[in-house]
Chains A and B, each alone.
Chain A
Amino acid sequence: MAAILEAHGLAKRYRLGGSAVDALRGVSLTVDEGEFVALMGPSGSGKSTLLQLLGGLDKPTAGEVVLQGEPISQLSDDAATKLRRDRTGFVFQSFNLIPLLDVTENVALPFTIAGADTGRGEIAERIRDAIALVDLDGKEHHKPDQLSAGEQQRVAIARALVTRPALLFADEPTGNLDYTTGTEILEALWRSCVERHQTIVLVTHDSKAAAYADRVLVIGDGTIREEIVLGRRAEHDTGPLVRRLAELGL
């Protein structure tokens, strides 16, 4: 399969008062089209920083990110904004829906931002499709405060997927959810990967979430410590991953 995303020697240094902290120290990786990759690691390992650089939300101190063959690390703000709008989608730990907008309007937001007419044609069809994918049919006109936490996060996923981005980045999407609700979210992400051939990069510290991925990159101290290939599996039991992590002493 062709690589959709590449990172070459990514480094990120933060200045904290007088001292400097290296969050990433030369990370290189490749993500293939249609692949589900998890970045896993403890708090402070640099996994969220890596995701932000890969998604064009932040610029690296050194190194380069190449998305679909195009270097994106030094894009201007406008170009980076356009890239996010057209080619990437994000899901965060907090759902961050707009309270006044209903489900359909929240999902349609990226199109609305781009100034497209969301009421008809292919765009309306895509919005309906995204809502169906996250299993929210019948709740199109509910406001966020009428939805459960899991449902709100599913709206956020639909919003990230509605533009059919080349890549979906998810940063601890189950961090605020209980076990059952978290599973719903992971299932939704998995379905999009299998049914829509969606490429996903997921950041998590939870092995249950990472077990949904085809491949797990274990991050520690700002580098990739280990690559664990799980392959595409219909069942997502955590056994193989946990065993492998134990073998590595992680």
Chain B
Amino acid sequence: MRALAIRSLLARRGRSVLSIVGIALGIGVLYASLATDAGIAASIDRTVRDLVGRADLRVEAFGPSGLSADSLAAVREAPGATVVAAALERRTYLVPAAGTPDADATAPPVSVLGIDPVAEERVRDLVLVGGTELASADAPQALIPQALATELGVAVAGTVTLQGADGAPVDVKVVGILAGEGPLVGTGGRTVVLPLHAMQRLFADPTVSRIDVIAGQGASPREVADAIAVALTSQPYVLSAPADVAASLRGSTADFRSTTALIAAVALFVGAFLIFNTLSMTVTERVRELALLRAAGAQRRQLVRFVLVQAIVLGVLGAAIGLAVGLVLAELMAVELRSIAAIPFERVDPSPSAIAAVVVIGLGVTIAAALEPARRAGSIPPIEALRDRIDPAAARRARLRWLIAVFAVVGVAGLVAWPRDAGSAGLIRSGLVYTVLFGAVLTAPFVLGALGAIAGLPFRSGLRVEERLARASIARDRARTTLTVGALAVGLAMVVAVGGVAHQSRLAAAAWLAEVIPGDELLTSIRPIELDDQGIADLAAIDGVQRVSPLTLFEVARNGVRLDAAAVRGADLAADGRLQFVVGDRAAALKDLDAGGVAILPRSLADRLNLTAGSTLTLAVGEGKVADLRVAGIAERTLPGQVGESVLIGWKDATAIFGVPGAEVLAVRYAPGRMAEARPTVDESARQTALVPNPVSAVAGAVDSALSQVFGLFDALALVAVVVAALGIVNTLTVSVLERIRELGVLRAAGMTRGQVRRSVVVEAGILGIVGSILGIVTGLIAGAVLVVLSGGTPLIIEVPWSSIVVAALLGIGVSMAAAWYPARLASRLAIVAAVQHE
């Protein structure tokens, strides 16, 4: 029986290959998703190692001012803190060496890290590829990463010149070259490491940004943390452990990882359709042969095994090729991720157990998809062998309810493969989307007739007979059509859903920028600019500049929870027409903001904190003290902070209560129509005062391009599902042609041309494509809405992603009609004589 099963697969080589390719693509996406997940996990671990090294705890300054010498002393004296490594991190510019031909004023800034060489060595390894370590905490020496050394053409014993306090140039001697990009993650290697005290002198800044602590003397990190909490009361600070850093990084990648896993599940589900369809067709086609076997004494279970053996062969081959496809996909994803990830992405191969899981999942899905056809094979009565003609009865056709088994198996597979630390929110979201997609497949048989009639309309005027025949063929086996259309719809739905989410994100980002930023251009500074700085007044005085608004983002704490805050000038926002108020009087609230004692909340935060206009927002200000601010109003959106939208606070409070030293961003609003003329002067003036000009359109463009890259990756994965669905269409149309050979022969005998026959198959594919597209687009819009609504944070703007819809429709119809090429050719080349005699 086993040999017969394999021979049966070989006899239908084309279809077997299609099924193998289908399952291989599904498995490939799953493998790539797991490999990427493993890569992200490894990258996070490495980043965490780079960030905190061997430290058990990290104390970071909270807010714009650093930790004072007193705070450092308090940590040093905390019982159990055996190693205390303080560091200061600032950004500045390199001063080009005199006479350098390409002295470039617009080169990006560098990060300067001041470390205590002795303590730092015990916390983390600074790997040198040349030169020596820093000799003391005082000497004006520097270590620079290889990347920067190459860029500047500086070797050991060379000199780099930094802009120090007040922009004065300071020379430091390079004593060592660090491996790779150096110790600071995300700087792209633009880092200069100095001894802590030397750096504090250089920047005239006696504070430190962070203190890494190793616990010892029998004290646990927890006990040391408690001791620090007791000792450090004069300043607000953030205490974190490596696990917290890792968790926060994992949190930031959770959405990406859960979406990849969801698309993998969808690709696998679509692959399962193909297997289900292939084996179903085999059983339907071979009814007489299987009945003959029964008549010759084969038992039911032998026929069941006949189908299952075929499934296993397809599954094993599919899994093997799928692993190879997955390797390539994973490599492509790694390339893409390296260009978009905030942390250096490293590609790692999944563990052997994960590879085994992929193979088991692939086989499991294939076998689950084969259960129904196998059951049908077992239930064929021997009498079928005696019938004159094979006329597939309804009972022998595929039962859609068995799809539920496949759905469940893929769902379980999804749970197994789910990124462990991606959080439950992503799981719930993906689960719901998956259910929506499945619901669409189950709805398909009920809407097929109506949608088929609509889909036939475009063909009816020019290709009436072809359209009629095509619809007749589609109605021949509703279960098969449902599966084919369902697979296509699911693939296209993912394209639309991803497009919908991308569209929402872009709109939200664009609306956000337009609604909250009081300027056409942002000038960013690496040092706070005091509000009475002459530079601001000079910029505002340039002809064509209407207004210059100082802004700064900082952090505040409420009940021990960090919140983003922004210092803004209410009068500027009022005059510029920014902010949409949902609660409170805009004019009054913005006026009160400048007077002090109030805050304006973004709607998302107000909802989360359950605050409204008139409520009191209590924020920690250090030394155990708090500041009470009245909520003057709630805006639809406010300035974007690091993790959410910011609480808006007037400059008066920001400086006096929260110690914000000055503005980090100046928003420049040009007089209407004068931007082009005034901008060069503004930009020039900005550069002279070490400000970096960024037009808001460029910021929007950067946001847009980052979003495009991430969503492009998702689109590419969703496209794999569409390709698998296309294979299903080739399969279905081929069988549809083979089933109708005699009918096509009679039509040819009655005067139908080869062209008409070919067109009828293409029209059939077109109708399948249109039906799949309609169903896929509607499902995708629902799935996209589910993703957007459940992802929270981003305010929902109901907008239809027309571009994705058009892409999905063109893709659906195009892919289907391309898939018709082979079956159409087959149909048009049938010899009439052979066709009419076909049994």
Contact = CB atoms under 8 A, between A and B. Distances in A.
A57 B464 contact: no
A175 to B, nearest CB: 10
Nearest to B462: A115
B752 A113 contact: yes
Interface string A100-135: 110001000110111100000000000000000000
A98 interface: yes
Interface in B356-402: 388-389
B832 interface: yes
B4 interface: no
Contacts of A89: 750
Nearest to A109: B750
B671 interface: no
Chain B contact residues: helix, strand, loop or mixed: helix
Report which residue of A58, A109, A113, A171 has the largest number of chain B beta carbons within 10 angstroms of its beta carbon. Answer: A113
Contacts of A94: 389, 742, 836
A85 B751 CA distance: 4
B476 A112 contact: no
B741 to A, nearest CB: 10
A159 B832 contact: no
Nearest to A92: B836
Contacts of B832: 57-58
B746 A96 contact: yes
Contact of B751 (A52, A84, A99): A84
A74 interface: no
Interface string B746-764: 1111111110100000000
Contacts of A81: 748, 751-754
Nearest to B752: A113
A86 interface: yes
A110 B476 contact: no
Given A57-B833, A113-B756, A115-B465, A96 B751 contact: no
Interface in B813-828: none
Contacts of A110: 750-751
Interface in B431-476: 464-465, 468-469, 471-472, 475-476
Contacts of B388: 176
Nearest to A171: B836
A90 interface: yes
Contact of A159 (B469, B750, B753, B831): B750
List the 3 shortest-distance A-B pairs measured between CB atoms, nearest first. A85-B751, A100-B472, A96-B746
Contact of B833 (A52, A98, A160): A52
A57 B835 CA distance: 11
20 contacts: A52-B833, A57-B832, A58-B831, A81-B754, A85-B752, A90-B749, A90-B750, A92-B836, A94-B742, A96-B745, A98-B472, A99-B476, A100-B471, A100-B476, A105-B468, A109-B750, A112-B464, A112-B465, A113-B747, A113-B751
A201 to B, nearest CB: 14
B743 interface: yes
Nearest to B839: A94
Given A99-B476, A112-B464, A58 B750 contact: no
Nearest to A176: B388
Contacts of A100: 471-472, 475-476
A215 B778 CA distance: 66
Contacts of B472: 98-101
Contact of A84 (B471, B743, B749): B749
B108 to A, nearest CB: 68
Contacts of A55: 749
B387 to A, nearest CB: 12
A235 interface: no
B833 A113 contact: no
Given A78-B753, A85-B751, A96 B471 contact: no
Contacts of A115: 464-465
A125 B619 CA distance: 91
B471 A113 contact: no
A77 interface: yes
A98 B469 contact: yes
Interface of A: 52, 55, 57-58, 77-78, 81-82, 84-86, 89-90, 92, 94, 96, 98-101, 105, 109-110, 112-115, 159-160, 171, 176
A101 B472 CA distance: 8
Nearest to B749: A90
Contacts of B468: 101, 105, 112
B724 to A, nearest CB: 29
A77 B754 contact: yes
A93 to B, nearest CB: 9
A98 B743 contact: yes
Contacts of A159: 750
B3 to A, nearest CB: 25
B732 to A, nearest CB: 17
B746 A113 contact: no
Contacts of B750: 84-85, 89-90, 109-110, 113, 159-160
A26 B426 CA distance: 79
Nearest to B463: A115
Nearest to A89: B750
B464 A114 contact: no
Nearest to B754: A77
A28 to B, nearest CB: 21
Contacts of B831: 58
Contacts of A86: 751
Interface in B678-716: none
Given A99-B472, A101-B468, A112-B468, A57 B749 contact: yes
Contact of B742 (A57, A96, A113, A160): A96
Given A57-B833, A98-B472, 5 more contacts: A77-B754, A85-B751, A94-B742, A96-B746, A99-B472
A102 to B, nearest CB: 11
Nearest to A86: B751
Contacts of B469: 98
Given A78-B753, A113-B465, A96 B836 contact: yes
Contacts of B836: 57, 92, 94, 96, 171
A176 B472 CA distance: 25
Given A57-B832, A99-B476, A92 B751 contact: no
Contacts of A98: 469, 472, 743
Nearest to A58: B833
A185 B832 CA distance: 24
Nearest to B756: A113
A220 to B, nearest CB: 21
